[in-house]
Every structure is written in structure tokens, then in C-alpha cells.
């Protein structure tokens, strides 16, 4: 039995364990075994960001079957704020999305399906990164996207907390206008373009004076999500800064193209970044 006189003050002990957990999350499962009080302190940190692949160096890679069992506890599932749901989840995806209703930052490395929109509509979702070819049945990869109508995309309005929305391909003006009109919380609408690919700026000109709209180079998906999940300057933050400069007058309000030099590994087959 330990001598109480040799124990650190609870506040200091708590702080030490938190620092250790934030410094190297892979150590958290071991630290949870130290004592019940440590488990209570560190579980919110462990489950605050959940990934199922080796996406983030030093971060715990969760095992789908075990995680699916654990999150059936509401106490645990409510800790999950940032979730990278990779293909490793397989048949567990629906259960994970249904249980983790507190997620604010969600990335799916597989396509979003219509049934998933019901789960998303219950989340306090701020950021969504996914391919949406299957999310809206009327959209197929064979569609002439430049002729696409807002009617095919209006399901986006089912996400009530949608504030940031980005398209990886140039869509019709109707899509952009529909999103700006139908998503009342929308603050940022981005067209992501590929370095070296010519985009038709003239078709985007009608949005030049709408400071919510910006056109920027597409960043690498996984690494940029990692930066954002760790509260770093991902492309959303850079876009927000660019928009703030337009609003304040530091940059001409009619300048909506942000020129930066990025390498990218996006698949240009109809992906969507939204948040």
C-alpha cells in the first residue's frame, strides 16, 4: 500500500498525466491502468480524436471491433469530437456514426452514402471531409458537373451546422449559389483547384464580391486533416484568414483567388470537403 504522505497533490498529478497524454497519445492505454482516477482524467483525451489507420504519428490507432464495443457506452461516445473513419471500419461504420453523435470534425476516406446523412444531421458537425459521389443518388461520376443543378445537391442543407463547404471540382454557378442560399450557417465556400490545372475564373466571377467565396489550391488530404485535427493551420484556417483580410480591406474584396504552392494527392472524381 502506498504511503499517502508521498503522493503528489491531486492537481499536480492530474497535470502531469495530461501533459504525458498530450505529448504521446499512444501511451494513454497504458497510463489508464495506473489508477481509476487516471482513467477518468485521460479517457476524454484518448477518445477526443479517433483514427483507424496510421494517419497521425504518435497517435493511437483504434481497432474497429474493440472501438465499436466501447462506444456503446454513451459516456465514452460523447468524448469523440474528431473522427477519421477509414475503410478499416467496414461494417462497423454505421454503428460508429450512429453512436458518436458529438463529432464536430469528421473525415471519411470512403464515399458518403444517403443513409449517412441521417447520422450527420444529429451531429454538431463543423467539418466534413468525404467523397460524395454516392451521397446524393442523382449524382454519378458520369454527370456533366458543369451542368449540374442544385436540386441534386440540396441534401447538403440537411446538415444544420454546416459553416464551411469546399468543392474539389468546379461546379455550376447553380451549385455554388444554392449552397450559399440554402445553408444559412455557411460562412466559407471554397473551390479547390489543382496546381497546373487551368480553371475558368470567368465563370466564378459572379461570386467575386461575396466574401464567403474563395478559390484556393487543393492541399494533400490526409496531412492537411492531421494539421487541422491538431488545431494547426489547415486549409480552412488559411481560407478564413484570407476572407478576413478581404472583409477588413487588407485585400481587395473582389480578389477571391488565393495563390499558394501546394503538392496534392486528391482524387478529382467528385470529392467534397465540408464542415
Same domain, 142 and 25: no
- Would you say residue 93 lies in a domain? no
Same domain, 181 and 274: yes
| pLDDT at 27 exceeding the cut of 90 | no
Average pLDDT, the chain: 78
pLDDT digits (tens, 9 = 90+) for 3-22: 555 578 888 998 999 898 88
pLDDT (0 to 100) of residue 42: 92
The better pLDDT of the pair 268, 166 is held by 166
pTM: 0.67
Cell 491531486 appears where? 10
Structural domain of residue 14, as residue ranges? 9-46
Nearby residues of 177 by Cβ (< 8 Å), 6 or more positions away = 150
Same domain, 140 and 253: yes
| pLDDT at 244 exceeding the cut of 90 | yes
Cell 450512429 appears where? 98
Q: What is the number of domains present in the chain?
A: 2
pLDDT (0 to 100) of residue 134: 55
Give the mean model confidence (pLDDT) for residues 75-81.
Answer: 91
- Beta bridge pairs of residue 127: 105
- Would you say residue 241 lies in a domain? yes
Q: Picking from 57-61, 94-98, 264-268, which range would have the lowest pLDDT averaged per residue?
A: 264-268
225 contacts 234 by C-beta, under 8 angstroms: yes
Same domain, 162 and 271: yes
- Would you say residue 121 lies in a domain? no
The better pLDDT of the pair 270, 75 is held by 75
The better pLDDT of the pair 236, 221 is held by 236
pLDDT (0 to 100) of residue 275: 37
pLDDT (0 to 100) of residue 23: 82
| pLDDT at 245 exceeding the cut of 80 | yes
Same domain, 140 and 269: yes
Same domain, 171 and 275: yes
Give the mean model confidence (pLDDT) for residues 195-203.
Answer: 60
Same domain, 138 and 270: yes
- Would you say residue 240 lies in a domain? yes
- Would you say residue 181 lies in a domain? yes
Same domain, 162 and 257: yes
- Would you say residue 176 lies in a domain? yes
> DSSP string spanning 235-263?
HHHHHHHHHHHHHHTSS-TT--B------
pLDDT digits (tens, 9 = 90+) for 103-123: 998 888 766 666 777 788 888
- Would you say residue 187 lies in a domain? yes
- Would you say residue 189 lies in a domain? yes
**Distance, C-alpha 198 to centroid of its chain:** 27
Nearest to 77 by CA among 56, 106, 53, 48: 48
* C-alpha cell of residue 71: 462506444
pLDDT digits (tens, 9 = 90+) for 146-164: 556 788 778 788 777 788 8
Band of pLDDT at residue 262, cut at 50, 70 and 90: very low
Amino acid at each position: 500500500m502506498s504511503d499517502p504522505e508521498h503522493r503528489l497533490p491531486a492537481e499536480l498529478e492530474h497535470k502531469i498525466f495530461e501533459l504525458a497524454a498530450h505529448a504521446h497519445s499512444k501511451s494513454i492505454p497504458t497510463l489508464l491502468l495506473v489508477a481509476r482516477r487516471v482513467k477518468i482524467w485521460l479517457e476524454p483525451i484518448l477518445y477526443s480524436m479517433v483514427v483507424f489507420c496510421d494517419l497521425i504519428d504518435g497517435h493511437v490507432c483504434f481497432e474497429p471491433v474493440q472501438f465499436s464495443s466501447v462506444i456503446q457506452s454513451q459516456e465514452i461516445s460523447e468524448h469523440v469530437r474528431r473522427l477519421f473513419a477509414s475503410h478499416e471500419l467496414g461494417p462497423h461504420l454505421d454503428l460508429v456514426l450512429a453512436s458518436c453523435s458529438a463529432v464536430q470534425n469528421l473525415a471519411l476516406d470512403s464515399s458518403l452514402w444517403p443513409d449517412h446523412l441521417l447520422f450527420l444531421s444529429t451531429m454538431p458537425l463543423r467539418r466534413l471531409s468525404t467523397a460524395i459521389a454516392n451521397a446524393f443518388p442523382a449524382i454519378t461520376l458520369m454527370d456533366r458537373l458543369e451542368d449540374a443543378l442544385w436540386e441534386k445537391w440540396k441534401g447538403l442543407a440537411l446538415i444544420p451546422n454546416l459553416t464551411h463547404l469546399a468543392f474539389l471540382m468546379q461546379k455550376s454557378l447553380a451549385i455554388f449559389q444554392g449552397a450559399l442560399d440554402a445553408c444559412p450557417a455557411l460562412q466559407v465556400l471554397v473551390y479547390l483547384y489543382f496546381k497546373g490545372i487551368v480553371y475558368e475564373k470567368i465563370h466564378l466571377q459572379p461570386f467575386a464580391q461575396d466574401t464567403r467565396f474563395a478559390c484556393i489550391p487543393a492541399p494533400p488530404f490526409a496531412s492537411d486533416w492531421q494539421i487541422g485535427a491538431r488545431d494547426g493551420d489547415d486549409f480552412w484556417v488559411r481560407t478564413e484568414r484570407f476572407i478576413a483580410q478581404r472583409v477588413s480591406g487588407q485585400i481587395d474584396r473582389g480578389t477571391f483567388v488565393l495563390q499558394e504552392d501546394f503538392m496534392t494527392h486528391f482524387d478529382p472524381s467528385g470529392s467534397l470537403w465540408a464542415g
